[in-house]
A and B are shown apart, each in its own frame.
Chain A
Amino acid sequence: MTKVTLNVNGETRTASVPPEMTLLRLLREEFGLTGAKLGCDVGDCGACTVIVDGKTVNSCLMLAPQADGRDVLTVEGLATMERLHPIQKAFEEKGSLQCGFCGPGVIMSAKALLDENPDPSVLEIRDALAGNLCRCTGYSKMIEAIQDVARGDNRQPVGESA
């Protein structure tokens, strides 16, 4: 077993895991963070997308030991006790998620995109989501919601809006 210590959503966490355990399984099975999903386990679908040191990765393609010492942000780390993250709010208001299984991954991709590029074009948004397969929505309402956030329509958190 290998001991790994990493920062997950701002908290230091430690686990002793088999060396071949993926980051995805570490998050889901050891830390109980089931937001990231296992959809294909080979990096095609993006349902397991999380942000490691500021960059999106497929957590099914990263070994837990590789995440040792790194900062990991999962979908559970976006909201606060008071409010939804603007992307979460926009996705809710636009009805951007249907079955929702791809949602956490898509939202993490959107977050990483907007962190780097606050005003993306539609093509840039499409490019940023190309690693997140969705079968329900045709991506349209996701793209609209991300544009809303970029435009600032949704900068105001839900809990504080009038």
Chain B
Amino acid sequence: MKRRGRGIACMWYPIGFTVAANPSAAVVKINEDGTATLLTGTVETGQGSLTILAQIVAEELGIATDDVHVVSADTDTTPMDTGAIASRTTYVTGNAARLAAEKAKGILFEVAAPLLQVKADQLEVCDRKIQVKGFPQRHIDIGDVADRARGVNGQPPIGSATFNPATVALDPETGQGKPFATYVYATQIAEVDVDDETGEVEVLRIVASHDCGTPINPMLVEGQVEGGISMGVGFALEEEILFDASGRQVNSNLTNYIMPTSLDMPEVVVEIVDSYDPTGPFGAKGVGEPTCVSTAAAILNAIHDAVGVRVTSLPATAEKVYAGIKAKRAQEAKQITAG
């Protein structure tokens, strides 16, 4: 018989390295037509980080995502970056990119200020224009300013910046200190069916609520959460590298290392919670790793809710769940006899 259960799990997760410096540098070049190029040493490994960085630079410059081209991952041409690790790209590289864009923008403001007859600090960007704060009708096209910066002022608008998360070393005795600049939080709830005659677990639905600060790109955040959950489902129920007695792997292929296929994935519902981190670029934190953290815990709690079995070692294969069910029945039978 199939038994339904639900389980909840929440988590917290930091952005960046533990105390250790993990800086990013960035260079933003505003082209003569008001579009921009970002140089970053980070690597696109699938998350969409280059698009996120383009959005951050675009936001800072008041232009559109498509106006920003990103050059990445070449040690000859791009500045130092700690890399695609530790859920740090949006926050750390994003801060560096925003600061670099801000510096380049400062050059444009210097050029635009006399034209608009105000001081540079009275200017802002909006919709590909540089305008006077409070007087949006007084504006100049950003492309015109950029071209003038080069051709008249002889000062091409290029900015470079670095960012390193603020941390405080941990006390070696007590571990007290500030290991990370910021953290994200999340809750996932799983609904499962457990076949009480075989131990087979079917994950029906996972609802996930994640904090990433400001979602720079909600679509890409959802993609991270959905993907992280699939990794979490595998971690919970299926995946394990196994060794023989001599220490050699016995399932080092995708036939026998069981990871979720499309048929094994539940319906996934993603919510992004309202959140803003003043230390992040436009309030953003990060989302890569945390997405797979609470899935297994939620599923295991749902299994417990369904059949009353607490599996304490992962993965909770059908065999383990069934062994738990059998043991529980034997225990109950004993109690009945004893009673």
**A contact set with B: CB distance below 8 Å:** 40, 42, 44-45, 94-95, 98-100, 125-127, 129-143
Assess A95 versus B227: contact at CB under 8 Å? Given A100-B46, A138-B265.
no
Measured CA separation A135–B223 after assembly (Å): 11
Tell me which residues across on chain B come within 8 A of A141, comparing CB atoms: 222-223, 226
Is B254 within 8 A of A40, CB to CB? yes
CB contact list, B185-221 vs A, under 8 A = 219-220
Is A99 within 8 A of B259, CB to CB? no
Is A126 within 8 A of B263, CB to CB? yes
Measured CA separation A133–B262 after assembly (Å): 8
Q: List 20 A-B contacts (CB under 8 A).
A: A42-B255, A94-B219, A95-B222, A95-B223, A99-B46, A126-B263, A127-B263, A129-B261, A129-B262, A130-B261, A132-B262, A134-B230, A135-B227, A135-B230, A136-B46, A138-B228, A138-B229, A139-B226, A141-B226, A143-B262
Is B226 within 8 A of A138, CB to CB? yes
CB contact list, B242-291 vs A, under 8 A = 253-255, 259-263, 265, 268
Is B254 within 8 A of A45, CB to CB? yes
Measured CA separation A135–B230 after assembly (Å): 7
Is A137 within 8 A of B231, CB to CB? no
Measured CA separation A136–B260 after assembly (Å): 11
Measured CA separation A116–B227 after assembly (Å): 28
Nearest-Cβ distance from residue B241 to partner chain A, whole angstroms: 15
Is B263 within 8 A of A135, CB to CB? no
Is A133 within 8 A of B263, CB to CB? no
Nearest-Cβ distance from residue B274 to partner chain A, whole angstroms: 22
**B contact set with A: CB distance below 8 Å:** 45-48, 219-220, 222-223, 226-231, 253-255, 259-263, 265, 268
Tell me which residues across on chain B come within 8 A of A99, comparing CB atoms: 45-46
Nearest-Cβ distance from residue A146 to partner chain B, whole angstroms: 10
Interface centre among B46, B220, B260 (most CB of A within 10 A): B46
8 Å CB contact of A136 from B219, B227, B255, B261: B227
Is B231 within 8 A of A135, CB to CB? yes
Is B259 within 8 A of A133, CB to CB? yes
Residue of A nearest to B45 (CB): A99
Told that A40-B254, A98-B223, A126-B262 touch, could you supply 7 new A-B pairs with CB distance under 8 A?
A42-B254, A98-B48, A99-B46, A127-B262, A135-B231, A138-B265, A139-B265
Interface centre among A125, A138, A141 (most CB of B within 10 A): A138
Is B226 within 8 A of A137, CB to CB? yes
Tell me which residues across on chain A come within 8 A of B227, comparing CB atoms: 98, 135-138
Nearest-Cβ distance from residue A39 to partner chain B, whole angstroms: 8
Measured CA separation A45–B253 after assembly (Å): 10
Measured CA separation A135–B232 after assembly (Å): 11
Is B259 within 8 A of A135, CB to CB? yes
Residue of B nearest to A95 (CB): B219
Assess A98 versus B47: contact at CB under 8 Å? Given A130-B263, A138-B265, A141-B226.
yes
Nearest-Cβ distance from residue A161 to partner chain B, whole angstroms: 16
Measured CA separation A140–B254 after assembly (Å): 21
Is A44 within 8 A of B255, CB to CB? yes
Is B253 within 8 A of A40, CB to CB? yes
Residue of A nearest to B261 (CB): A130
Measured CA separation A42–B255 after assembly (Å): 9
Tell me which residues across on chain A come within 8 A of B46, comparing CB atoms: 98-100, 136
Measured CA separation A131–B234 after assembly (Å): 16
Is A137 within 8 A of B254, CB to CB? no
Is A139 within 8 A of B254, CB to CB? no
Residue of A nearest to B254 (CB): A44
Measured CA separation A35–B105 after assembly (Å): 40
Tell me which residues across on chain A come within 8 A of B230, comparing CB atoms: 134-135, 137-139
